[in-house]
């Protein structure tokens, strides 16, 4: 179960994979674009933008939403990109990943500091909520680099990876999109030998399956794991590349897609972005 197959290898920094309309979609950060990929590896660029695009998703009504990271805007693709919400007055640092609820509201993580600044010091970051009408507000604060997020099928819980805190957390979701009752969903042990973030396991992008378990990509330990609430790990997929995120898709939602890169040094010959995949037993949901 640990052997992956390469679907495409012509990306630079693939993130925010989504299975929608029988295709895999993702953003390619350094190319500032959204791409759509079929199961044969055919790929097309759907959106190009002047800013880094950090996430893509859809409302229940089929509207495509895209996160403009450094401009701190949520965009809507109406055959051209229009600003649904300008969040620059709420947050000072780049936006990150996103999940969309059943009403069409969007939760967007904020890095909390300038991630690309070599002198930047990690700081707690918030989650911003944008209502279906485009009104933004802070939904939660003090998270350790909020990253991948999922919402449970009943719409009652939001689960978020906190990359710098080496944990996955959960919140209760109110009818108006408010978040409350923060608690730890799963924790991962710290390791002083980890080179990048200070722990061996760095939860990045995540996805949810029908048994309520979460698949998690960890760039620092170069693995993707399946973990249950409480922290019990049921599966580990070691990677030769650096996994950034994961998504369950395919015809039966049993294909685990893993965006990855060969190196964090974008100038290195090995710095190729790709989508790898393998089949798993439990289908995805959400």
- Is residue 284 domain-resident? no
Residue in 277, 270, 210 with CA at minimum distance from that of residue 237: 277
What is the total count of domains within the chain?
1
- Is residue 132 domain-resident? yes
- Is residue 60 domain-resident? yes
DSSP 8-state code for residue 210:
T
Q: Could you tell me if 221 and 210 are in contact, meaning their C-beta atoms sit under 8 angstroms apart?
A: no
- Is residue 201 domain-resident? yes
Q: Compute the distance between CA of residue 140 and CA of residue 40 in angstroms, rounded to an integer.
A: 40
Q: Compute the distance between CA of residue 165 and CA of residue 145 in angstroms, rounded to an integer.
A: 8
User: Strand order in 179-187's β-sheet?
Assistant: 146-151, 157-162, 167-173, 179-187
- Give the N- to C-terminal CA distance of the chain in Å, as an integer: 23
Q: Compute the distance between CA of residue 114 and CA of residue 172 in angstroms, rounded to an integer.
A: 29
Q: Compute the distance between CA of residue 68 and CA of residue 83 in angstroms, rounded to an integer.
A: 10
Phi/psi of residue 30, nearest 5 degrees: -70, -25
| pLDDT of 193 | 36
Query: For residue range 62-80, what is the model confidence (pLDDT) as tens digits?
Result: 999 999 999 999 999 998 9
- Is residue 189 domain-resident? yes
Intervals of the chain under pLDDT 50: 1, 191-199
Phi/psi of residue 18, nearest 5 degrees: -140, 135
Q: Compute the distance between CA of residue 59 and CA of residue 152 in angstroms, rounded to an integer.
A: 16
- Is residue 27 domain-resident? yes
Q: Compute the distance between CA of residue 54 and CA of residue 189 in angstroms, rounded to an integer.
A: 28
Q: Could you tell me if 56 and 45 are in contact, meaning their C-beta atoms sit under 8 angstroms apart?
A: no
- Is residue 286 domain-resident? no
SS3 165: helix
Domain range for 263 is 5-279
Query: For residue range 116-139, what is the model confidence (pLDDT) as tens digits?
Result: 666 667 788 999 999 999 999 999
Q: What is the CATH classification number for the domain harbouring 51?
A: 2.120.10.30
- Is residue 174 domain-resident? yes
Element spanning 85, H or E:
strand 81-86
């Amino acid at each position: 179960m640990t052997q992956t197959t390469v679907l495409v290898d012509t990306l630079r920094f693939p993130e925010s994979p989504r299975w929608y309309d029988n295709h895999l979609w993702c953003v390619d950060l350094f190319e500032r674009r959204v791409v759509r990929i079929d199961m044969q590896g055919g790929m097309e660029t759907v959106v190009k933008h002047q800013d880094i695009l950090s996430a893509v998703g859809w409302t229940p009504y089929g509207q495509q939403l895209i996160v403009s990271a450094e401009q701190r805007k949520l965009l809507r693709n109406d055959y051209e990109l229009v600003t649904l919400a300008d969040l620059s007055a709420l947050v000072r640092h780049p936006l990150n990943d996103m999940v969309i609820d059943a009403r069409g509201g969007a939760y967007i993580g904020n890095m909390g500091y300038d991630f690309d600044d070599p002198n930047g010091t990690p700081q707690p970051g918030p989650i911003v909520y944008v209502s279906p009408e485009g009104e933004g507000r802070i939904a939660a604060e003090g998270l350790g680099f909020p990253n991948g997020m999922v919402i449970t099928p009943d719409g009652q819980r939001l689960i978020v990876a906190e990359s710098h805190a080496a944990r996955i957390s959960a919140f209760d979701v109110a009818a108006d999109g408010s978040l409350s009752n923060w608690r730890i969903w799963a924790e991962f042990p710290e390791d002083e030998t980890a080179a990048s973030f200070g722990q061996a396991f760095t939860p990045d992008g995540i996805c949810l399956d029908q048994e309520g378990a979460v698949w998690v990509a960890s760039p620092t330990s170069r693995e993707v794991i399946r973990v249950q609430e409480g922290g019990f790990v049921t599966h580990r997929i070691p990677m030769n590349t650096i996994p950034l995120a994961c998504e369950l898709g395919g015809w039966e939602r049993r294909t685990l897609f893993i965006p990855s890169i060969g190196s964090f040094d974008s100038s290195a010959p090995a710095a190729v972005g790709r989508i790898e995949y393998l089949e798993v037993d439990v289908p995805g949901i959400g």
